[in-house]
Amino acid sequence: MITSTVEGDASRSYIISMKSRLTATLILLALGLVAAEAQVRSKAKPDWFDLPVDKKILDFGPSFEKPSASSPDWQWSAYRRARNKLFCYWFPTVMVKQYDINQKGAAWVSFIRIAANAHPKCNRSHVPGEKVFKAGSDWWGYFLGVKRDFVFLTDPDGVSGGIQFHVYDSRTGQQVFEDADCLTCMYLKKMYGKEPPPALINRMQISKAPGGAVTLKYMRVEQADCDLRALTRLLVGTM
């Protein structure tokens, strides 16, 4: 398990310190991640993301071309179900937008600092100061959540049982942290009905102190060319 602290001072410099580490070797199949709306929760949890003050969804029509009359039922079903949607989230100090066109990864995600109680319009246009991530060679993923001044983004898919996440400071627009969380710890049972591998925690825990740092606790996924558990047993046996 990893405990990481992300904190900033008045000059907006950052310290990311690794306080403890328990190596967890997970040799698992790659697992895809369905676009998850991390903010859609009926009640705020103290060790999870902040709930938005407000949320709005705008529909911009079908994501796919209209099928022909002779097209199979599944194609018509996909056409009716898949819609281009803009998701807007307002938090006390930041607004986040995500435009989803039903491809792997959002078409774009953006965030911008806002004044207290401000409520900018929800639209697809961008304004000066808005940090925009467009799907392409440099970025690909989804909006994950907000904790205080920090915006979390995630990759669109998992690799070797883990999912990469990225943390940005909304005050500067700069990335301040990134790592790989245990994806199978969270979704294996829900998606496939299988028990996840042994883990100290089954999802990331995010806590904050009033006026202090944001602390993340999660199961980090490490990749290796061999089974580190078997290697450890071998080394111990030769000592």
**For 62-96, how does the pLDDT look when each residue is reduced to its tens digit (9 = 90+)?**
998 898 999 999 989 988 899 999 999 999 999 99
Say if residues 108 and 156 touch (Cβ distance below 8 Å). no
Higher-scoring residue by pLDDT: 164, 195: 164
Q: Residue 19 has what pLDDT?
A: 31
Going by the DSSP 8-state scheme, the letter that residue 55 receives in this structure is E
Of 33-47, 60-74, 120-134, the poorest mean pLDDT is in 33-47
Q: Residue 202 has what pLDDT?
A: 64
- Domain count along the chain: 1
> What residues have CB less than 8 Å from 156, skipping those under 6 apart?
33, 35, 104, 105, 106, 140, 141, 142
For 129-139, b where at least 16 C-beta lie within 10 A, e where not — what string?
Answer: eebebebeeeb
The boundaries of the domain holding residue 99 are 2-238
Name the pTM for this structure. 0.71
CA–centroid distance for 159 within its chain: 14
**For 136-193, how does the pLDDT look when each residue is reduced to its tens digit (9 = 90+)?**
877 889 999 999 899 999 988 777 777 889 999 999 999 999 888 877 666 656 655 6
State residue 167 phi and psi, 5-degree precision: -115, 130
